[in-house]
Amino acid sequence: MRIAFAGTPQAAAPTLEALVAAGHDVVAVLTREDAPVGRKRVLTPSPVAARAEELGLHVVRANRVTDEATAELLDRGFDLGVVVAYGGILRSPLLDTPRHGWINLHFSQLPRWRGAAPVQRAIMAGDAASGIAVFQLEAGLDTGPTFVNRSVDIGTHETAGELLERLAELGAPDVVTTVAEIEAGTAEATPQTGHATTAAKLTVRDGLVDWHGSAAEIDALVRGVTPEPGAASERDGQRFKLLRGAVAETTHAAGSPGDVSERKGRILVATGEGSYELLEVQPAGKKPMSAADWWRGQRGAAVRLG
């Protein structure tokens, strides 16, 4: 079929590649505009834009689907639209014009975690599983009937970035299969049932650790906001990034929530319940380093986070 694709981050690239590999004619790729990246703020294409250009596809850059962007897409003439994490809202007439409408690959088992950050919110909430859904896009927020809606277990130590990468690879074949079924006229969509939850977009504040929570809750938060927006605490009034850690199952920290100590070579933070082990950190103005290396630099000084 003739397909328009909409996506922006790296997690969308596997589906774009799979559609091309399956022989579909991807007539246009809608993605967000080039954005400044890194300390030098170099203007950089989105991962999807870069991959689309490598594949020789027509790219439309737009942070909002303006009348101009809509006209450019519709002029390409396509039968079906496919969305994977574009980062903007599709509205009529773009949503309604293709004869098969638009389908969306979403990284949760719907209706749980509708919205912008389903993978992150699932981990932060302590869910045992995330999921993959391919659904018919409609005006509501991730409310359309599903062609695919399945559960995927979350690894015990898996971060949001790692899980998202895995789901992106697992979901791409589901999209290709759904497209084939739509083309053959055999696709069946099932209305969503069950309690819906919303996965709001994350901010920097979502990554701030409250050491009065349990070690398990803190571990879930750190994994859920890694790599973006990142987990952090405060040390002497400055941001102290927590890049990697784990619940300390057998060795316990001394002191009140936020107090840091060393026990048997492990760097531990006391929490409201249990202890959290620091594995990799980034103090303000420093490069990422192992927690053990950072601790040696403290030279026995009392350290408190938060």
Of 143, 176, 199, the last residue of a domain is 199
Of 136, 171, 199, the last residue of a domain is 199
Same domain, 178 and 232: no
Same domain, 156 and 282: no
The whole-number pLDDT of residue 300 equals 80
The whole-number pLDDT of residue 37 equals 85
The whole-number pLDDT of residue 187 equals 98
Model confidence pLDDT, tens digit, residues 95-144? 999 999 999 999 999 999 999 999 999 999 999 999 999 999 998 999 99
The whole-number pLDDT of residue 250 equals 83
Same domain, 67 and 37: yes
Same domain, 111 and 243: no
The whole-number pLDDT of residue 252 equals 84
Same domain, 113 and 237: no
Same domain, 7 and 79: yes
Of 141, 173, 199, the last residue of a domain is 199
Q: What is the 3-state secondary structure (H, E, C) of the chain?
A: CEEEEEECCHHHHHHHHHHHHCCCEEEEEEECCCEEECCCCEEECCHHHHHHHHCCCCEEECCCCCHHHHHHHHHHCCCEEEEECCCCCCCCCCCCCCCCCEEEEECCCCCCCEECCHHHHHHHCCCCEEEEEEEECCCCCCCCCEEEEEEEECCCCCCHHHHHHHHHHHHHHHHHHHHHHHHHCCCCCECCCCCCCEECCCCHHHHECCCCCEHHHHHHHHHHCCCCCCEEEEECCEEEEEEEEEEECCCCCCCCCCEEEEECCEEEEECCECEEEEEEEECCCCCCEEHHHHHHCCCCCCEECC
Same domain, 59 and 188: yes
Same domain, 124 and 18: yes
The whole-number pLDDT of residue 38 equals 80
How many domains does the structure of the chain reveal?
Answer: 2
The whole-number pLDDT of residue 97 equals 94
What averages of pLDDT result for each successive group of 10 residues across the chain (306 residues)?
Answer: 97 98 98 89 95 98 96 97 96 94 98 98 98 96 97 97 98 98 98 97 97 98 98 95 95 91 94 97 96 93 91
CATH number of the domain within which 161 lies: 3.40.50.170
Domain interval for residue 276:
204-304
The whole-number pLDDT of residue 301 equals 85
CATH number of the domain within which 269 lies: 3.10.25.10
Same domain, 213 and 247: yes
Same domain, 152 and 225: no
Same domain, 119 and 240: no
Same domain, 25 and 77: yes
The whole-number pLDDT of residue 249 equals 87
